[in-house]
Amino acid sequence: MAKIIQIGNSQGIRIPKPIIALANLQNQELDFVVMDSGLLITPQKKVRIGWEIHDTNLTAEWEWSMNQ
């Protein structure tokens, strides 16, 4: 079981080593998602070199014509 502990003026999560190994979280930066039922902790997904998306506006516009 993970426990919340005091770390200086902050708090942290102490996760047992077997859980870290099972979840493949060793030496990883983590992402946190707050959900209604709790907290989801996952390894941070890193973009491969050269695969960065530079344009964050990825919407497509469709024009439909009645005269085809």
Q: What is the CATH number of the domain that holds 14?
A: 2.10.260
Query: Could you give the CA distance from residue 52 to residue 23 in angstroms, rounded to a whole number?
Result: 26
Looking at the domain assignment, is residue 60 inside a domain? no
Q: Bridge partners of 30?
A: 43
Instruction: Please say if the pLDDT value at position 5 is more than 70.
Output: yes
> What is the distance in angstroms between the CA of the first residue and the CA of the last residue of the chain?
64
In this predicted model, what pLDDT tens digit does every residue of 19-62 receive, in sequence order?
889 988 898 888 889 999 888 888 887 766 666 666 566 566 66
Domain of residue 29 covers 3-43
Task: For residue 14, give both structure tokens.
Answer: 């102490």
Sign of CA dihedral 16, 17, 19, 25: positive
Looking at the domain assignment, is residue 22 inside a domain? yes
In this predicted model, what pLDDT tens digit does every residue of 39-51 receive, in sequence order?
888 888 776 666 6
Residue 51 confidence (pLDDT): 65
Looking at the domain assignment, is residue 10 inside a domain? yes
